[in-house]
Amino acid sequence: MEILQQHRVHGGTLSYCRHDSAATGGAMRFSIFLPPGAGPHPLLVWLSGLTCTEENFTTKAGAYGAAAAVGLAVLAPDTSPRGEGVADDPAYDLGQGAGFYVDATQAPWAPHFRMETYVTRDLLAAIEAAFPLDPARRGISGHSMGGHGALTLALRHPDLFRSVSAFAPIVSPTRCPWGEKAFSAYLGEDRAAWAQHDASLLIAGGAANGHYDDILIDQGTADSFLEGQLKPQLFAQACADAGQKLTLRLQEGYDHSYFFMASFIADHIDWHARRLKTA
């Protein structure tokens, strides 16, 4: 673990870090905010969207005042492996910056694009060895591609997380152009493999199994990707059919940008803090 920068903010400490990951076969970067106090702190894992790095949430979301007030640590990893020898694509929605939080099985992606294992194994192990965090109190959230990651990792790894929320998530990547493109590249043409990383299909298959008392999603009504890519109604219907409580808030006039997230991030911080208050 290498600490690249540290900053004092809202009485806590924000660190930018780099560490080696066996899953991705190289160095990965993240930021982590620790609130005031000795800890161990509950943790919110934030997963960012297409084209983002660990920097986007860290500098644009304005989360740390709210996190400091409730004693919540916040972790923001990069969205994909990077560097020399790591496969890439000229398009913004594939390759570096577009890991989709799955473990790729297809060439040329498989050697490095193992973001599910990275987040759920290597990253959590690294930060909990280095910082005063409580592994029994973790939540997960994210935006767009990262909202997809938050929902699917929460559903696939309920032993790791106690709360889940998302902003404008890709709720059914098997039924939208972004997901179809990425899953074809990373997972091949077997749609049964795709289904294991589709939050709506996971809910329909019983993956929640009563683990989460509620799921919070905020979606802007002026989001240009709402109809073609995000389709929150598919997740809402799956939750209704499965008996999973969902709080879906359609926020009038908000778009897909970090202005939207900055407007409601305090609500999500509070949402997770209440659910992570006790071990």
Residues carrying an active site annotation: 144, 223, 256
Place of tokens 């979301």: 61
d(CA 41, CA 9): 16
Q: How far is CA 255 from CA 30, 52, 178, 221, in A?
A: 26, 17, 18, 7
Q: How far apart are CA 169 and CA 89, in angstroms?
A: 23
- The tokens 């894992």 sit on which residue? 45
Interatomic CA distance for residues 121 and 103, integer angstroms: 12
